[in-house]
Structure 1
Amino acid sequence: MDSQIQALTEKVYQEGVLKGEQEAAKILADANAQAEQVERDARARAEQIIAEAQRSASELKSNTERELKLNASKLIEATKASIVDVLAGRIAGDSVQALTANPELLQRVVLEIAKGFDLKHGVEITSNQAEELKAYFAQNAKALLEEGLTIKQVAGKATQYTIRPQNGSFKVEIGEQEFVELFKSILRPQLAQELF
């Protein structure tokens, strides 16, 4: 009887161990499957994050390049306008001084204007006068540039451009820091913060 109880106990024990091992194997397989799924999900999410970051970086780069081109054009146009304003102001000032210094010339100019004045149409500059006027302004602009010209403000921002003759042409000089500051002042605040 003891041997039968011993055999029965051994059999129950073996069945319990076998059932426990099977259950452990099933739990382990489920855990491995879940771990693999978590890893796959994590990799997929990481790839999404990387793709989104690359798309965002590409978009930022594209927007930045567009913004820089736009603002570079604005800066160039503002600089050209400032140069024209300074030249026109100096030419006009010098011309008025020359007229007021020579009363005979002033009388002739006023007489010519009065002769050509029409109440309906105003003063008309004829083509030969227009060419003379154009030549006068071109000559005076060149003379001013040959003396050297300094621009102290562009687009309402303080700066220091110098235009001076060099090798039969003209050279525009501006300090790097001034250029950066001027460019920053024109850029949109968000872009300026990101770049500088």
Structure 2
Amino acid sequence: MESKLQELTSKIYNEGIEKANKEAAAIVENARKEAEAILENAKKEALELKEQSKKESDELYNNVANEVTMSARQSILALKQQITNLVVSRLVHEPVKSAVNDKDFIKKIIETIIKNWDPGSNAGINLALTLPKEDEKTLGNYFDRKTNELLKGGLDIQFDNKLSSGFRIGPGDKSFLLSFTDEDFENFFKYYLRPRTTKLLYGDE
């Protein structure tokens, strides 16, 4: 009887130990699997984060590079434009200034304009000529004397303190005026010289 009790006790004990070992092994296995899953997820998230960071870094680099390139191009273009303007101004300013201060040159231009204002018309025309106030005694007196020779109509000569050089001319009714100041001449020549100067300086870029 005692032997059977001992045998039963041992059996229960062994079964308990075996069950506990199995449960412990299952717990360890589950823990291992969970740890592996956590580690795998962590690796995956780290890789995704790394790829995202690289993508953002590449985008930032490209944006900065594009901005730098664009800024550099704009700076170069601005510099080229400044150099071109300086060259054109140097080419135009002094010759134009000298020309508009040459009274004989101005006389010839005004005479040419008056003679060709309306060469096909036999009717007399009236023109209005505005000169700088400082030219009243020179150009003013000259064209007073030349009016009958140049025009079938009349020439109304006025003087303007605000006009420093050149002249303005138009119909007697002043419906419009053609301006030929030093600034007008400069702008005219600069307009045509600037593209040619740019090409000479920088080629066909």
TM-score class, shorter = 0.5 to 0.7
Separation in structure 2 between the aligned mates of residue 34 and residue 113 of structure 1, nearest angstrom: 101
Structure 2's unaligned 5+ residue stretches are 114-168
**Counterpart code for 2:109:** E
Query: Taking structure 1 as reference, are residues 88 and 109 closer, same or farther at Cα in structure 2, changes over 3 Å only?
Result: farther
Q: Which residue of structure 1 lines up, in the alignment, with residue 178 of structure 2?
A: 122
Q: Which residue of structure 1 lines up, in the alignment, with residue 109 of structure 2?
A: 112
Moved over 4 A (4+): none
RMSD of aligned Cα (Å):
3.8
Separation in structure 2 between the aligned mates of residue 123 and residue 55 of structure 1, nearest angstrom: 62
Q: Deviation string for 1:143-179 (max 9, x for gaps)?
A: xxxxxxxxxxxxxxxxxxxxxxxxxx979xxxxxxxx
Query: Taking structure 1 as reference, are residues 16 and 39 closer, same or farther at Cα in structure 2, changes over 3 Å only?
Result: same
Structure 1's unaligned 5+ residue stretches are 142-168, 172-196
TM-superposed CA distance for 1:38, in Å, is: 0.6
Query: Taking structure 1 as reference, are residues 114 and 76 closer, same or farther at Cα in structure 2, changes over 3 Å only?
Result: farther
SS of 2:60's equivalent in the other structure is helix
Q: Which residue of structure 2 lines up, in the alignment, with residue 165 of structure 1?
A: none
Query: Taking structure 1 as reference, are residues 37 and 112 closer, same or farther at Cα in structure 2, changes over 3 Å only?
Result: same
Q: Which residue of structure 2 lines up, in the alignment, with residue 71 of structure 1?
A: 71
Q: Which residue of structure 2 lines up, in the alignment, with residue 157 of structure 1?
A: none
Q: Which residue of structure 2 lines up, in the alignment, with residue 86 of structure 1?
A: 86
Separation in structure 1 between the aligned mates of residue 107 and residue 32 of structure 2, nearest angstrom: 101
TM-superposed CA distance for 1:56, in Å, is: 1.1
Separation in structure 2 between the aligned mates of residue 15 and residue 23 of structure 1, nearest angstrom: 12
CA radius of gyration, larger in: 2
Separation in structure 2 between the aligned mates of residue 111 and residue 43 of structure 1, nearest angstrom: 90
Separation in structure 2 between the aligned mates of residue 114 and residue 13 of structure 1, nearest angstrom: 135
> Structure with the greater relative contact order (CA < 8 A, sep ≥ 6): 1 or 2?
2
TM-score w.r.t. the length of structure 2 is 0.50
Q: Which residue of structure 2 lines up, in the alignment, with residue 20 of structure 1?
A: 20
Give the length in aligned residue pairs. Answer: 134
**Counterpart code for 1:3:** S
Separation in structure 2 between the aligned mates of residue 81 and residue 58 of structure 1, nearest angstrom: 34
TM-score w.r.t. the length of structure 1 is 0.52
**Counterpart code for 1:25:** A
**Counterpart code for 1:64:** V
Q: Which residue of structure 1 lines up, in the alignment, with residue 163 of structure 2?
A: none
Any residues of structure 2 matched to 1:130-149 within 5 Å, and which? none
Separation in structure 2 between the aligned mates of residue 43 and residue 81 of structure 1, nearest angstrom: 56
Separation in structure 2 between the aligned mates of residue 12 and residue 121 of structure 1, nearest angstrom: 125
**Counterpart code for 2:106:** V
State which drifts further: 113-122 or 30-39: 113-122
Identity between Structure 1 and Structure 2 (%) = 25
Any residues of structure 2 matched to 1:150-161 within 5 Å, and which? none
Q: Which residue of structure 1 lines up, in the alignment, with residue 95 of structure 2?
A: 95
Q: Which residue of structure 1 lines up, in the alignment, with residue 11 of structure 2?
A: 11
Separation in structure 2 between the aligned mates of residue 21 and residue 70 of structure 1, nearest angstrom: 72
